[in-house]
Amino acid sequence: MENHKPNSELPAIPAKRYFTIGEVSELCGVKAHVLRYWEQEFTQLKPVKRSGNRRYYQHHEVLLIRHIRELLYEQGFTISGARNRLESGEPDEVPKISSPSTFNMPALKQELRAVMAMLTH
């Protein structure tokens, strides 16, 4: 399998209304033939087709492609698993953060001071 960069290392998406398949390929780190295949597998992915069957992707589709790419290449989903995840609308695993009232502030401050001390030495 190819060596894929994490989504965090991909270029920023320019503020444009439409993107060609070549631009999306560059922005998402996915070859054009893979994008065409994903159109068949993921019903949410529907680029506008104009003269000569040229595809034009909108900003939300570029984000969707990056999400599909992350599910497949970084999280290890199969095509079927990624499709099910997208169709179910389940959010990706997000770590639960305690509410501020449950933090032990004195202990947190002490830990931060210890980290700062390590960094300054």
Domain of 27: which CATH number? 1.10.1660.10
Specify the pLDDT at position 116. Answer: 80
Q: Quick check: is 109 in a domain?
A: no
35 within some domain: yes
Alpha-carbon gap, residue 41 to 78, rounded angstroms: 11
Q: Give yes or no for residue 118 having a pLDDT over 50.
A: yes
* 62 contacts 55 by C-beta, under 8 angstroms: no
Identify the domain containing residue 82 by its residue range: 7-93
Q: What is the mean pLDDT of residues 112-119?
A: 80
CA-based torsion, 8, 14, 17, 21: positive or negative: negative
| 99 within domain boundaries | no
Mean pLDDT of 78-107: 69
* Alpha carbons 113 and 13: distance in angstroms, whole number: 38
Total domain count, the chain = 1
In a domain, 117, yes or no: no
Determine, yes or no, domain membership for 114. no
> What is the pLDDT at residue 2?
53
Residue 40 Cα to chain centre, angstroms: 19
Within-domain flag for 1: no
The overall pTM is greater than 0.75? no
pLDDT in tens, 49-76: 998 889 999 999 999 999 999 999 999 9
- Give me the pLDDT at residue 106, please: 75
Q: Kindly report, residue by residue over 10-51, the tens digit of the pLDDT.
A: 899 998 899 999 999 999 999 999 999 999 999 999 999 998
User: Which residues are CB-contacts of 58 (< 8 A; sequence separation ≥ 6)?
Assistant: 17, 18, 19, 47, 48
